[in-house]
Every structure is written in C-alpha cells, then in structure tokens.
C-alpha cells in the first residue's frame, strides 16, 4: 500500500473536474440558448454564423430602405397627382377659350386663372420634399440623353400631314440638331384664291402668340405641298395633301429640342435594396416645373394661343403621366423586393439558428447526465480519500 500518491483519488478528481466543467458549459448553453457562446465552442461555426448575421441584419435594413423608398415615391407621386389635376383644369380652360363664343375680355379673365395654376405647378415642383430632399425640381433627374422630337399633335379636316424632315437625332449626342425650338406651332389655312387655285396659310408659334406672315401654296397639278421653311416650324418641313385641304383646316405640331446633349452625370436616386455592395435600384425623377413641361408660355388670351395650348397641354399631361407610371412601376418593384428580402432574411435566420442555437432538449439531457456524474464523482472522491487510512491498521 502507498500513501504518497492516492492514484484512485487523483483519477476520481480528474473525472470530477471534467464533469464539473462539462456541467458548467451545459448550464451556460441552456441559460443563453446558444450552442456557440465563444469561438472555442465551434470556431468554424462561429465564423459562418457571424457572416450569416451580417447578411440577416443587412437584409432587414435593406427592407427598411425599400420601405423608405416607397414613402419617397408616394410623396412625389402624390404631388404629381395634383399637378395632373391642374393640367387638366388648364386644358379645360384652353378648350373653353378656343371657342369664339368668348370675347377678348373673357379670354383675358380665363388667362388669369391659367397663370395662377401655372404658378401652383411651379410651387409644387419647387417645394415637394422628402427628408429635406427636393423631389420634383430636377435635382434628382436621371439626366439621360433624350432625343429631340416632333409630332403632329392634332388637325382638322381629312387631309394627310406628316413631318418630312426625318433626320431627327437617333439618340447619339453627337448628332447635329434639326429641331430648333421647344414650341407648339399652329398652321391654319386662311384663304383660297380660285383664280390662281392657291391656298394661303399662317403659322402661329405658341411661344410668341404672334401670327406669322401669310404664305401660299398651289393645289393641282401638285398633289402634295411643303409647309414651312427652316425656322418657321422649329426647323422642320411638313408635307400636306393639298388636294383635300380647305379654308379653315388647321394642324398643330409640337417640337422638342434634344435635352442633355452632353450626357452629363446622373443625379438619380439609388435605393440600397440588398445586404451587399452595389445591390441598388436607381430611379430618376424629372423636373415637373412649367418650363420643363413646356407650359410656361401657355397663353389662352387669344383664340390662336388657346388652340395651340391644347396640344401643348396634351404633351405635358403625357409627360406627367409617364413620370407617374415610372414611379408607380418602381413602387411595385420595391414591394416585391420587400417580400423577397423578408423571405431571404427568414431563410437565412433559420440557417443561422441551425448553426448557432442550442437544442434545449438535447442539452438538458447532457446537463442531467454530467450533473449526475459530477455528484457520483464527488461521492467516489470521498471514498478514495478514505482508502489510505487503511494503512493505520498496520500500525497497531
């Protein structure tokens, strides 16, 4: 028998220490609900789960960003709803003023309301904000290159009319400009000379409201004639079927010069809708000022001006409608984005949970086992400590 080293006690003490440490870890996991409380618990699992946590929190914040984006869009679109209403009212007044049942003084009174409504369009464009950010004054414009354009907006009579100068820009900013004015031109047949078989017409630009000098064109044997000359119709030539035209017939042309020909940097909004870099949605909001809607020169105080204003306002209403449609499309996209982000966050949270969270039932089993072993080891240590006392029996 030996007494310097109680091997049985040492072995029991080692087992007791191990069981006690295991029980402490069990209690830590049960109290925190986590399988991994420190890197030592599972080094690889900790790294993986922390990366997942970063993605989850990024997805949740991206969802909030998308919701804020919807709020911004709703603010802008709500303002444009009122702009639409104003444009419809101005068009209504233009239609009223176009009728010769109104006197000159009547038209001037109608123009007073038109001016106030135009001022309100500018006020809405300059004052609509979200989080102090101006939305409709052009600060957030995508500033993408826009082709110059020219369209036959309306006509009376059954004659054909088309733009014959078809060399409009094709989208390249380097192309030479053909359209020379942002304007609406009203061409009206005013007279017919039976002796010479010649029609007379005038061109009235909306920007000035001043009827141009009388110009002539003959009918047969020529079946088609060119109306206008460089500059008189914003740089365009227009061909009409002169065999079917008659006095009183008219048509209007809306011309728009190219915008942002230099292709300058975009100021479009970027909504961060993902948890990683460059996961964004871009949306530009064009200026909705009267000058950018080309209605700043609308004047219905004359019959010619009112007639031209109708086509100009149709173009402005179309532009506001296009802007609202674009914003509505982005809003719908963001709503789908939010749904997708929520699903991704949920699935990633489940994956992170499988890596990081503890199985409470299993851990309780382990804790119960280790607790019993620790108590048993304590009892055995007491027994092991009694064994060396047997040596005293030999000293009697």
In order of 41, 153, 157, 205, 245, the CA distances from 161 in angstroms are: 82, 11, 10, 18, 10
Last residue of a domain, one of 327, 344, 361: 344
| Residues of the domain holding 63 | 55-144+262-344
Given a contact cutoff of 8 angstroms between Cβ atoms, the answer to whether 254 and 315 are in contact is yes
Given a contact cutoff of 8 angstroms between Cβ atoms, the answer to whether 245 and 191 are in contact is no
* Whether residue 165 is found in the same domain as residue 238: yes
Indicate the burial class of 185 (C-beta count within 10 angstroms; 0-12, 13-18, 19 or more): buried
User: From CA 117, how far away is CA 379, in angstroms rounded?
Assistant: 95
Q: What is the DSSP secondary-structure string of 293-328?
A: TT-TT---SSHHHHHHHHHHHHHHHHHHHHHHHHHH
The number of distinct structural domains making up the chain is 2
* Whether residue 155 is found in the same domain as residue 246: yes
User: From CA 127, how far away is CA 22, in angstroms rounded?
Assistant: 67
* Whether residue 140 is found in the same domain as residue 285: yes
Last residue of a domain, one of 198, 229, 255: 255
3-class DSSP state of 1: coil
Each residue's pLDDT expressed in tens, for the chain with a length of 396 residues: 677 888 888 898 898 898 888 898 888 889 888 899 888 888 999 999 999 999 999 999 999 999 999 999 999 999 999 999 999 999 999 999 999 999 999 999 999 999 999 999 999 999 999 999 999 998 998 877 777 888 899 899 889 988 876 566 655 555 556 788 889 999 999 999 888 888 899 999 998 888 888 888 776 655 566 777 657 888 888 888 888 889 999 999 999 887 776 666 788 999 999 999 999 999 999 999 999 999 999 999 999 899 999 999 999 999 999 999 999 999 999 999 999 999 999 999 999 999 998 989 988 998 999 899 989 988 998 988 888 888 877 776
In order of 12, 322, 368, 370, the CA distances from 377 in angstroms are: 6, 81, 14, 10
* Whether residue 249 is found in the same domain as residue 275: no
Residue 367, in any domain of the structure = no
* Whether residue 133 is found in the same domain as residue 61: yes
* Whether residue 139 is found in the same domain as residue 157: no
Residues counted in the chain: 396
C-beta neighbour count of 23 within 10 angstroms: 20
User: From CA 26, how far away is CA 362, in angstroms rounded?
Assistant: 10
From the list 153, 212, 206, the residue with the least C-alpha distance to 182 is 206
Helices and strands in the chain: count of H runs, count of E runs: 5, 12
From the list 132, 168, 388, the residue with the least C-alpha distance to 256 is 168
* Whether residue 131 is found in the same domain as residue 158: no
Q: What pTM was estimated for this model as a whole?
A: 0.80
């Amino acid at each position: 028998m030996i007494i310097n080293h109680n091997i049985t006690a040492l072995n029991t003490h080692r087992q007791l220490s191990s069981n006690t440490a295991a029980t402490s870890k069990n209690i830590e996991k049960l109290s925190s609900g986590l399988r991994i409380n420190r890197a030592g618990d599972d080094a690889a699992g900790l790294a993986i789960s922390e990366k997942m946590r970063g993605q989850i929190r990024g997805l949740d914040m991206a969802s909030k960003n998308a919701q804020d984006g919807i709020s911004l869009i709703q603010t802008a679109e709500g303002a444009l709803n009122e702009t639409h209403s104003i444009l419809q009212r101005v068009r209504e007044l233009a239609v009223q003023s176009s009728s010769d049942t109104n006197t000159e003084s009547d038209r001037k009174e109608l123009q007073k309301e038109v001016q106030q409504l135009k001022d309100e369009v500018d006020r809405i464009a300059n004052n609509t904000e979200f989080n102090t950010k101006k939305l409709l004054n052009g600060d957030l414009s995508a500033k993408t290159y826009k082709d110059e354009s020219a369209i036959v907006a309306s006509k009376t009579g059954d004659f054909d009319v088309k733009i014959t100068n078809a060399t409009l820009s094709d989208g390249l900013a380097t192309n030479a400009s053909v359209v020379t004015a942002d304007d609406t031109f009203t061409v009206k047949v005013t007279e017919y000379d039976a002796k010479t078989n010649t029609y007379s017409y005038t061109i009235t630009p909306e920007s000035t409201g001043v009827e141009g000098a009388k110009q002539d064109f003959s009918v047969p044997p020529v079946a088609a004639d060119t109306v206008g000359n460089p500059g008189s119709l914003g740089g365009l030539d227009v061909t009409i079927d002169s065999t079917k035209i008659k006095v009183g017939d008219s048509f209007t042309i809306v011309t728009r010069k190219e915008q942002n020909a230099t292709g300058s940097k975009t100021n479009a909004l970027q909504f961060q809708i993902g948890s990683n870099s460059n996961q964004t949605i871009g949306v530009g909001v064009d200026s909705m000022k009267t000058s950018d809607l080309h209605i700043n020169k609308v004047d219905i105080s004359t019959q010619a001006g009112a007639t031209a204003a109708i086509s100009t306002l149709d173009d402005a209403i179309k532009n506001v409608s296009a802007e609202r449609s674009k914003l509505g499309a982005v809003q719908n996209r963001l709503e789908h984005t939010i749904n997708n982000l929520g699903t991704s966050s949920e699935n990633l949270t489940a994956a992170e949970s499988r890596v990081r969270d503890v199985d409470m039932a299993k851990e309780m089993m382990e804790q119960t086992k280790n607790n019993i072993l620790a108590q048993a080891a304590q009892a055995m240590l007491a027994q092991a400590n009694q064994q060396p006392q047997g040596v005293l029996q030999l000293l009697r």
